[in-house]
C-alpha cells in the first residue's frame, strides 16, 4: 500500500473553458457508501480548484470540504463553480503534525472514479449550447449563463459593456 501526505489529480481541458459546474464520483470499491466505508474517510477534507496551470495555487478555489463527515459526504458530489480555466484540480492532504477531525483517514488519497466538467468548451461564449458570443466590448470573459462581462474595454461600462465610450472633458 502507498501512503502519502498529499494527493493531487487534475484533468486538462485542452484550453481555457467556461466552467459552470463539476461533478465528482467517489470510489465505492463495491462496498456500500457511508460511515462504514473506508473510502468516505479518505474523501473527507478534499478541495477543488480551477487553474490555467497544473498548480492549484495559480487557480481559484471552487470548494473546500470543512463540513462533511463519514455519514454526510455524498458518493456523487456536485458543485457550481462558474469560472474560466484549463485545469480542474482535485486535492486532498493529511499533513504531519496537523490534527484532523474525527473520521478522517490517516493518509491522503485520490479515491475518485470520475470527474465531469460542465460548461462551454471554449471561453468567449455563453447561453444554452454555448452559442452566443460574449459582447465585443468585454475585455476578458463573460458569465456562462447570462453573458455579463467580467471586465469592459476602456471607455465602456455596464453589465454587458453596452454603455458606449465615456469621454471626460476637463476645462481649466
What digits encode the pLDDT tens for the residues 33-66?
Answer: 999 999 999 999 999 999 999 999 999 999 999 9
**Mean pLDDT of the region 75-83:** 97
Please give the radius of gyration of the chain, using alpha carbons only, rounded to the nearest integer: 21
Backbone angles phi, psi at 129, to 5 degrees: 65, 15
The pLDDT of residue 1 = 57
Phi and psi at residue 20, to the nearest 5°: -105, -55
Give the predicted TM-score (pTM) of the model. Answer: 0.88
- Residue 19 in contact with residue 88, Cβ under 8 Å? yes
Give per-residue pLDDT as tens, 84-104. 999 999 999 999 999 999 999
The pLDDT value recorded for residue 140 is 84
Which pLDDT tens digit goes with each residue over 131-167?
999 999 998 899 999 999 999 999 999 998 988 765 5
Closest CA to 43 of 113, 141, 135: 113
Cell numbers at 117, concatenated? 466538467
Which residue, among 46, 55, 59, has the nearest Cα to 7 in the 3D structure? 46
CA dist., res. 52 & res. 65, Å (int): 22
Four-point Cα dihedral 157, 161, 165, 169, nearest 10: 0
pLDDT confidence of residue 168: 61
Helix (H) or strand (E) run with residue 91 in it = strand 76-93
- Output the CATH code of domain 6-123: 2.60.120.260
**Whats the size of the chain, residue-wise?**
172
Domain boundaries, the chain: 6-123, 125-172
- Confidence band for 76, pLDDT divided at 50, 70 and 90: very high
Amino acid at each position: 500500500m502507498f501512503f502519502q501526505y498529499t494527493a493531487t489529480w487534475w484533468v486538462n481541458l485542452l484550453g481555457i473553458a467556461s466552467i459552470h459546474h463539476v461533478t465528482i464520483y467517489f470510489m465505492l470499491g463495491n462496498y456500500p457508501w457511508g460511515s462504514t466505508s473506508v473510502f468516505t474517510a479518505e474523501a473527507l477534507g478534499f478541495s477543488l480548484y480551477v487553474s490555467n496551470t497544473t498548480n492549484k495555487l495559480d487557480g481559484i478555489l471552487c470548494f473546500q470540504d470543512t463540513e462533511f463527515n463519514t455519514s454526510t459526504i455524498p458518493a456523487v458530489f456536485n458543485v457550481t463553480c462558474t469560472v474560466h480555466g484549463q485545469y480542474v484540480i482535485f486535492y486532498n492532504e493529511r499533513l504531519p503534525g496537523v490534527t484532523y477531525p474525527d473520521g478522517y483517514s490517516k493518509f491522503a488519497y485520490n479515491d475518485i472514479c470520475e470527474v465531469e466538467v460542465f460548461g462551454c468548451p471554449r471561453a468567449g461564449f455563453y447561453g444554452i449550447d454555448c452559442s452566443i458570443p460574449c459582447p465585443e466590448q468585454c475585455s476578458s470573459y463573460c458569465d456562462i449563463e447570462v453573458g455579463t462581462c467580467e471586465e469592459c474595454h476602456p471607455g465602456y461600462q455596464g453589465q454587458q459593456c453596452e454603455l458606449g465610450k465615456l469621454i471626460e472633458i476637463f476645462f481649466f
